[in-house]
Amino acid sequence: MLLPEKIFNAGVVGAGGAGFPAHIKAQSKVEFVLANGAECEPLIHKDHELMLNFPKEICRGFELLIESTKAKKGRFGIKEKNTKAISAVSRHLNGKSELTKLGDFYPSGDEFELVYEATGRLIPPAGIPLDIGCVVNNVETLYNISLAEKEIPITKKFICVAGAVKKPSSFFVPVGTSFKDVVEFAGGPKVSEFGIFVGGVMMGHLTFDLNEVITKTTAGLIILPKDHYLIKRKNQPEQNWHRIGKSACDQCSYCTEFCPRYLLGYQVEPHKVMRSLGFTKTGAAVWNEMAELCCSCGLCTLYACPEDLYPKEACDKAKVEMHETGIKFIQQKDVKVHPIKEGRRVPLPQLIMKLKLQDYDVEAPFNSENFSVKKVRIPLQQHIGKPAKAIVKKNEVVEEGQMIGKVSDGELGANIHVSISGKVKEVTAEIISIES
């Protein structure tokens, strides 16, 4: 069996956030394969821990992908400050691969940034790395590809739990485990009232629901007291974000001046998007276009804006409106890196200070204890594309690793496997519940 087929069967998706089915990338032919170990979300250290503890498996996945795509070169993006991870990974890299050492900036893990740092190439506006002969995979995806080679399906997610918990740590969790069980495994919360940033404080979403579950793309959970600055900011009703923005934005343009996509040469100008908040629908459409190439990194809202406004959220809204009206902005001018880019990069420690997270900025070491759980709720859509279709029925007995959700022939998606042995308790179009 060829590698793309093994990856497809094992249900591997991009573990770095978006959940793009990994077999598609393995089928392509490219010049560069890039490993993304540039983790930059404040407080999340799971990729660092994975590189320290499983460098051989990650590099095996990297090598397999280089072979499968017939790439001439491999570039392993990793932060220069992570010296132990660098020496662990270096021991397993083959002749075609080199390290690309990165500074400790936010968002150095953004695909557009990484591709530019590693190859000097700029992805075309609204394009993908493949357009310039590259594929990028997060280090955990590469680890999972090494499992897929051995025909081991993806049933566990490596996550980091940090913030106001007694034991900040990184560990493997069965997919479908509730946040409640996960937070308990990290020693439990340090405070009685808290919120959870799922996937990180910059790009993740805020929830107070402990019944939500870990999926194949959950990078980690950041627990913060309910009265923390970030929870108060994020927990404002959406209409407030835009109402305050309409009245208080003084068009200083700091949001644009710090925007990493703007500094790379893309026409992303959040200060112009802010103008759309005060316009009628026709007027807004003009300014909305300046949001099309935004990657939702959150830097404008949480770092740049001196008025604590919400330019990132204005960009998110603009993208939805453009999508609904069928408008697609195509940048006409050449992408040219801004001469001040290097000087405007945002050091991670500075961002952590601005976010008032210094008290939580600690390591999250790997906990190798077995995480056992009695109940999981496994979503059938954990990836980009169509949801998988359930292939088990209520009351059926299932074994860990068994396929329970299947992608229909010819559709973009990923297969789903059960993460614990037990009995099927519920099957809907969205979720399968299992109890051991």
Interface residues with ligand SF4 (CB under 6 A) are 249-255, 259-261, 268, 270-271, 274, 294-300, 304-305, 307, 309, 311-312, 315
271 versus 383: smaller Cβ distance to ligand SF4: 271
Q: Is 136 left (phi over 0), alpha (psi -120 to 50) or beta?
A: beta
Shortest distance, position 269 Cβ to ligand SF4, whole Å: 8
262 versus 366: smaller Cβ distance to ligand SF4: 262
Q: Which residues contact 125 (CB under 8 A, 6 or more apart)?
A: 266, 267, 293, 330, 331, 335
* 403-406 vs 194-198, strand pairing mode: unpaired
Shortest distance, position 294 Cβ to ligand SF4, whole Å: 3
Shortest distance, position 92 Cβ to ligand SF4, whole Å: 34
Shortest distance, position 255 Cβ to ligand SF4, whole Å: 3
- Between CA 291 and CA 306 the distance in angstroms is 20
77 versus 270: smaller Cβ distance to ligand SF4: 270
Q: Find, among 230, 383, 421, the residue nearest to 308 by Cα.
A: 230
Shortest distance, position 271 Cβ to ligand SF4, whole Å: 4
- Rounded to 5 degrees, φ, ψ at 379 are -70, 145
Q: Which residues contact 348 (CB under 8 A, 6 or more apart)?
A: 40, 42, 104, 105, 106
Shortest distance, position 125 Cβ to ligand SF4, whole Å: 13
Classify 260 as helix, strand or coil: helix
Side-chain-side CA neighbours of residue 23 (13 Å): 23
38 versus 186: smaller Cβ distance to ligand SF4: 38
Output the six-digit token pair for 171.
Answer: 């560990």
| Count of beta carbons in the 10 Å neighbourhood of residue 27 | 16
224 versus 304: smaller Cβ distance to ligand SF4: 304
Q: Which residues contact 375 (CB under 8 A, 6 or more apart)?
A: 178, 425, 433, 434, 435, 436
- Between CA 323 and CA 309 the distance in angstroms is 24
110 versus 181: smaller Cβ distance to ligand SF4: 110
- Between CA 376 and CA 361 the distance in angstroms is 30
247 versus 282: smaller Cβ distance to ligand SF4: 247
306 versus 410: smaller Cβ distance to ligand SF4: 306
Shortest distance, position 207 Cβ to ligand SF4, whole Å: 20
Shortest distance, position 346 Cβ to ligand SF4, whole Å: 10
Output the six-digit token pair for 87.
Answer: 């020496």
117 versus 149: smaller Cβ distance to ligand SF4: 117
Shortest distance, position 147 Cβ to ligand SF4, whole Å: 33
181 versus 292: smaller Cβ distance to ligand SF4: 292
Q: Do 320 and 373 form a contact (C-beta atoms < 8 A)?
A: no
- Between CA 285 and CA 319 the distance in angstroms is 10
- Between CA 361 and CA 163 the distance in angstroms is 8
Q: Find, among 7, 26, 10, 16, the residue nearest to 155 by Cα.
A: 10
297 versus 418: smaller Cβ distance to ligand SF4: 297
- Between CA 41 and CA 117 the distance in angstroms is 18
- Between CA 87 and CA 363 the distance in angstroms is 18
Stated as kind and residue range, the H or E segment containing 169 is: strand 169-174
Shortest distance, position 301 Cβ to ligand SF4, whole Å: 7
- Between CA 7 and CA 150 the distance in angstroms is 10
Shortest distance, position 348 Cβ to ligand SF4, whole Å: 15
